Amino acid sequence: MISQYARLLRRRKVFFPFVFAVVARLPLAMAPLGMVVLIEDLRGSYASAGIVTGAFAWFTAVSPPLWGRVMDRWGQPLVIGATSTASSAFLAGIAAAAVGGASDPVLLVLAACAGLSFPPIAPAMRVAWRTVVADTAERRTAYAMDAVAVETIFVGGPLLLGVLLFAPAAVPLLVTACLMAVGGLAYSRTFAARSWRPEKPAGADGRSGRSPLAARGVLLTMLAGLGLAVGWGQMNVAITAAAEQIYRNESLLGLFFACAAAGSTVGGLWYGSRKWRRPERVHLPVTLAGFAAGLAAVMLVLNGGAHWAVLCAILAVAGVWQSPTNIVHQALVDTHAPPDRRGEAQGWLFAALTFGLAVGTAVAGFVVDYGGSPLAFGTAAATVAAGALVAVAAQRWWRADQQARSGEPAQPSAHIG
């Protein structure tokens, strides 16, 4: 399994853009925590830190469709280079302004600007693989490698920032800004970024095709993705509540998240290393159902008073389904989006998943207060299962759309496969 990834990474045209993209995306996990550490240390207020960090997170979530659209028209080097420079400058500005005693509204504006200008590395990397990896099976492996890298970013980013906490409070955020600038600018100069060309619009008048949101296949994919994301957000809060309320040991929190992330990493690597005969659309109900079953199992063991080690094992098994589900979502968006607006489509998927994650986090807070962490795992399972039902119902539309694009006659049957 590992040999397939090693074979890809031995290619310079794959290795360098992959590594630089990882570096450029580390701030996605480091910047919010860096802001909290800095502002709380200087102001002694988690409320101020939360407001500023929330502005950054919200604008980071809504910006990818915008920059994906611009990237589809003007290419990757200009967009990635400009946004990486601007966003890193705003992050450094937050550090300087906070140390200088700037008011909360000033920090709020700087954080919003940093989020709005956050480079669209994920959509860029997704479409760039089509340039540097010609073979379809190898491209799926590359997509899996990138999905696993995202898991590593959200685990490794906070760990790296934690190493910097011995320094003055502004240092972690300044280092985060440097990583974004270096990674983003370096990626923009790679062969993958420079050689990728936006596809020409299909219209006879040369105008851009319809919006990705007008494509039924993309909308159905995003709807199924919302089930995953809302459930994922609930799971994160439920894990935190379980460590605090059931096991009375906050030190277990990192272990619980690490087990879920490890399972997701293994699942993504395994899925990407396989050669699948069936199209991705038939995999989505299975991966969503597997994740829902894992979350339901967690609910049952918590109600049964299981040892924390049992919870670790089940979280790892539930996590196995996460990365494959993300990989399939991205593949379906690629399949059903207008060819000249794939970057924008991937941006919309990122925005939908981020929005769903935020909704799930908010909902879980009320659920935990009402019925405890087991109930939150149960509602998370139900939400993901609803996404699986959407994926089942969408099969005939996905298949008809795919057949129409390939010129094949549509089949009347609606069963999966």
| Token pair recorded at residue 244 | 């605090």
Q: What is the pLDDT of residue 358?
A: 75
Q: What is the pLDDT of residue 413?
A: 32
* CB distance 113 to 91 below 8 Å: no
Which residue shows structure tokens 């090693």?
Answer: 6
Flag whether the pTM goes above 0.85. no
* CB distance 152 to 48 below 8 Å: no
Q: What is the pLDDT of residue 201?
A: 61
Question: Assign residue 292 a region: left if phi > 0, alpha if psi is -120 to 50, beta otherwise?
Answer: alpha
Q: CATH assignment of 212-406?
A: 1.20.1250.20
> Per-10-residue mean pLDDT for the chain, 417 residues long?
82 93 89 83 78 85 87 90 96 94 92 94 85 80 81 72 80 93 95 82 54 87 92 85 82 80 87 82 95 95 87 92 88 85 84 82 83 91 96 92 63 33
Neighbours of 80 (CB within 10 A): 29
Q: Domain boundaries in the chain? A: 2-195, 212-406
Q: Find how far residue 12's CA is from the centre of its chain.
A: 25
| Token pair recorded at residue 328 | 């399939």
User: Which amino acid belongs to residue 244?
Assistant: E
Q: What is the pLDDT of residue 368?
A: 85
pLDDT, tens digit, 9 for 90 and up, residues 301-326: 998 888 889 999 999 999 899 889 98
Helix (H) or strand (E) holding 365: helix 342-393
Within this chain, domains 2-195 and 212-406 share the same CATH topology: yes
Give the helix ranges, DSSP H, for 274-341: 284-303, 308-319, 322-336
Statement: 2-195 belongs to CATH 1.20.1250.20: yes
Q: What is the pLDDT of residue 202?
A: 56
Gap between the Cα atoms of 238 and 232, Å rounded: 10
